[in-house]
Chain A
Amino acid sequence: MSATEPQPQSAGEGIPDSRFPGPYPVGSYAAQLKRRLGEFTRVQLVGEVWGCRTSRARVYFELRDANGALPCSMWRNEFDQLGVTLVDGLRLVVGGGCDYYPGSASSSPSFSFDVAELRIAGEGDLLVQLERLRRRLAADGLFEPQKLLGRPALPRTIGVVTGERGKARDDVLAGLRRRGWAGRLVWAFAPVQDRHAAPRIAAALRELAAIEEVEVVIVARGGGSLADLFAFCDEALCRTVALLRVPVISSVGHHTDRTLIDDVAAVACSTPTHAAEAAVPIDIGAAQRATLTHARGLQRHASRAVLQRARELAQLSRAPAEHVARHRRRLHQLLREMRASARRSSVGGRELAGVHLRVLGRSAARALSSDAARRRTELERFAFALAAHDPERTLARGYALIQDRAGEPLTSAAAARDAHELSIRFRDDRVAARVREDDGPPV
C-alpha cells in the first residue's frame, strides 16, 4: 500500500520492532485489495479453457497457456445466453477484469478474472499437441507391444503405481478383494499430478518391471480435469510403458477421459477397481470351486473305470462256475426225485402199482373191444366196394373175358390177332379159340 492511499486503522498490539506498519484488520485490507484490483485495466485474454464447472450463479474455469494460468468466472445467466459448451482444451478469448472477493468470517476469499465477454477461438493448442503426439506414438508402433504381452490369469505379485493418498489406492484394493485375490501387492507411490509426476511414474514403472516376481502392473489415478491428467500424456512416460516387459493396466481419470498412457497400455480400464479386476481376470473362489469339481470328476471317472471293469471281469470269471453249479443243482434235484420215487416203489408202492395195473388192464380191454368193432365195420365196407369191381360179377351178368394163353387179358382186336391163340372165359367155363387169317382187319 502506498502512503497516499487511505490507510486502514491499526488495531494495535503489533509485532515489536517490526519494519511493517499495522496491524490492520484483515477485512479492511481485503476490501482495499478488491478496490485496487478493480482499478486494473479491463482487457481481453486468450488461452485454453480447463476444468469448467458451474454453480447456481457462476461459471468457473481456468484459462491457461504454456506460461501461466488465471482462474476465471462469469455470471451464469450471461454464460447461458451465449449457448456454448466449454470442453477442456478449447481455445477462448475472454474480456473482463480482475475481481477479488474479500470473503467474510464465514466464507473464503477468492480471486478470479471476471469475464464479461467470451468467444470460442478454436481447438486448444494442448489438445492439438496431444493429438499430434498420439499419432506419432501410433506411427512408431508403440500402441502394440503391450497388447502382445501375455497376461497371467493368476499373478502372484502385482505392482501398483498410484498416489499414496489418493482414493485410487482403496479402489485397487477393493477390486482385488472382489476377486478374492490375496497375493503380494507392491506399492510404488508417485505424484500423479504436476510436472514432476511423469518422470516419477516412469521411474516407478521401470523399477517394478525390474523385479522378476512382478507379473503385472496397475497405473491408477482418480478423476480430474484433463489438465490434471496431463502427466499421463507425457511422451517419455508413454514410451517407457510401451517397452516394459510386464503388462501395464491403466486406469487414469474418468471413463470419458482418454490419456495417451491408455493407448500404449496393455489394457485401459475406466476405474481403478476395474483395473484390479483386469489384473486378476479370474475369481479365485469360483476357480477353487471349479478345481474341486474337476478333482471330484476325475476321482469319479477313475473309480468308475476301475470298479466297473473289475465288476465285469469278476462276473465273467464267475460265469463258468455258475454254469457248472446250476447243472449240479439240477442233477442233485433229479437224484433226489429218483431216490424218492424208488422209496415209494419199495415201501407202499407195490399195492398201489397193483391197483394201477388192474385199472390199466380194464382200460386197455375197453379200448381194444371198441377198436375191433370199428375195424370190422371198415372191413365190410371195403369188401363191398371190392365186390362191386370183381370181374366174376361181370361174367355172371353174361359178359366174357378174352385172354391169351398165358392168361393175360386181351382188351383189343389187335392184341387178339397178335396173340392168335385165345382163351375165352365165360361164367361157367373156358373155351379155346384161334384167330383166323381172313378175319384180319379190312384193308
Chain B
Amino acid sequence: MTEAPAPTYETAVARVEEIIRRLDSGEAGLRETLELVKEGRELVEYCAGELEAVSRGLEELRLEELVARLEGGDSGAGE
C-alpha cells in the first residue's frame, strides 16, 4: 500500500496529481486502480476540507481579543 497520511495541503495535492497521472497512463491493473482511487478520494476530501476551512468567511480579530479569548479558556481560536 502506498497510502500515507497527508501532513500538508501541498503534499496531498502533489500525491493526488501523481495518482491521477498513474491512472491516466492506463498501466494500473484493477487492484492498483481501486487502491489508488481509494487513496485519492481520501486525499481529495482532505484538500476540500482544508479549502473549506479558509473559505467560510473572513474573521478579523485583534491580537488582544484573541489572547483574551485563549486565556479565558475559549477554544474558539483552535476550532
Contact of A433 with B by CB under 8 A = no
The answer to whether A207 touches B53 (Cβ under 8 A) is no
The answer to whether B56 touches A154 (Cβ under 8 A) is no
Bound CA span A159–B19, Å: 35
CB within 8 Å: A-B pair count = 111
Contact among B10, B13, B34, B63 with A207 in the assembled complex (CB-CB below 8 Å): B63
Interface flags for A283-326 (1: CB within 8 Å of B; 0: not) read 01001101100110110011001100100000000000000000
The answer to whether A207 touches B67 (Cβ under 8 A) is yes
A-B contact pairs, 27 of them (CB 8 A): A153-B8, A153-B9, A154-B9, A154-B50, A155-B54, A181-B54, A181-B58, A182-B55, A182-B58, A185-B58, A186-B66, A187-B63, A188-B63, A189-B62, A211-B67, A284-B51, A287-B13, A288-B48, A288-B51, A288-B55, A295-B41, A298-B20, A298-B23, A301-B33, A305-B30, A305-B37, A306-B34
Contact of A231 with B by CB under 8 A = no
**Chain B hits for A157, CB < 8 A:** 77
Chain B contact patch, size range: 35 or more
Bound CA span A295–B50, Å: 15
The answer to whether B34 touches A305 (Cβ under 8 A) is yes
Q: Which A-B residue pairs are the 4 nearest by beta carbons?
A: A183-B54, A188-B63, A305-B33, A301-B23
Contact of B73 with A by CB under 8 A = no
The answer to whether A154 touches B23 (Cβ under 8 A) is no
Apart from A157-B77, A211-B66, what are 4 other A-B pairs with CB-CB below 8 Å? Answer: A184-B61, A295-B41, A298-B19, A305-B33
**Chain B hits for A189, CB < 8 A:** 62-63
Residues of A within 8 A of B (CB): 150, 152-157, 159, 173, 176, 180-189, 204, 207-208, 211-213, 280, 284, 287-288, 290-291, 294-295, 297-298, 301-302, 305-306, 309
Bound CA span A305–B70, Å: 50
**Chain A hits for B36, CB < 8 A:** 301
The answer to whether A298 touches B62 (Cβ under 8 A) is no
The answer to whether A186 touches B62 (Cβ under 8 A) is yes
The answer to whether B20 touches A294 (Cβ under 8 A) is yes
Bound CA span A185–B54, Å: 11
Nearest to A296 among chain B residues (CB) is B44
Nearest to A287 among chain B residues (CB) is B51
Nearest to A189 among chain B residues (CB) is B62
Nearest to B11 among chain A residues (CB) is A153
Residues of B within 8 A of A (CB): 8-10, 13, 16-17, 19-20, 23-24, 30, 33-34, 36-37, 40-41, 44, 47-48, 50-51, 53-63, 66-67, 70, 77-78
The answer to whether A156 touches B54 (Cβ under 8 A) is yes
The answer to whether A294 touches B59 (Cβ under 8 A) is no
Q: How far is the CB of B58 from chain A (nearest CB, A)?
A: 4
**Chain B hits for A288, CB < 8 A:** 48, 51, 55
Q: How far is the CB of B34 from chain A (nearest CB, A)?
A: 7
**A302 and B61 in contact, given A180-B55, A207-B67, A284-B54 (Cβ under 8 angstroms):** no
Nearest to B29 among chain A residues (CB) is A305
Bound CA span A185–B61, Å: 6
Bound CA span A288–B40, Å: 15
Candidate in A208, A294, A302 with the most chain B CB atoms within 10 angstroms: A294
Bound CA span A306–B23, Å: 13
The answer to whether A211 touches B20 (Cβ under 8 A) is no
Bound CA span A323–B76, Å: 70
Q: How far is the CB of A371 from chain B (nearest CB, A)?
A: 72
**Chain B hits for A181, CB < 8 A:** 54, 58
**Chain A hits for B78, CB < 8 A:** 212-213
**Chain B hits for A309, CB < 8 A:** 30
Nearest to A184 among chain B residues (CB) is B59
**A211 and B70 in contact, given A185-B58, A189-B62, A294-B16 (Cβ under 8 angstroms):** yes
Q: How far is the CB of A1 from chain B (nearest CB, A)?
A: 50
Nearest to B66 among chain A residues (CB) is A186
Q: How far is the CB of B79 from chain A (nearest CB, A)?
A: 8
The answer to whether A291 touches B44 (Cβ under 8 A) is yes
Q: How far is the CB of B28 from chain A (nearest CB, A)?
A: 8
**A284 and B44 in contact, given A187-B61, A213-B78 (Cβ under 8 angstroms):** no
Nearest to B48 among chain A residues (CB) is A291
Nearest to A309 among chain B residues (CB) is B30
**A284 and B66 in contact, given A184-B61, A213-B77, A305-B37 (Cβ under 8 angstroms):** no
Bound CA span A294–B41, Å: 9
The answer to whether A156 touches B53 (Cβ under 8 A) is yes
Q: How far is the CB of B31 from chain A (nearest CB, A)?
A: 10
Q: How far is the CB of A147 from chain B (nearest CB, A)?
A: 17
Bound CA span A298–B40, Å: 7
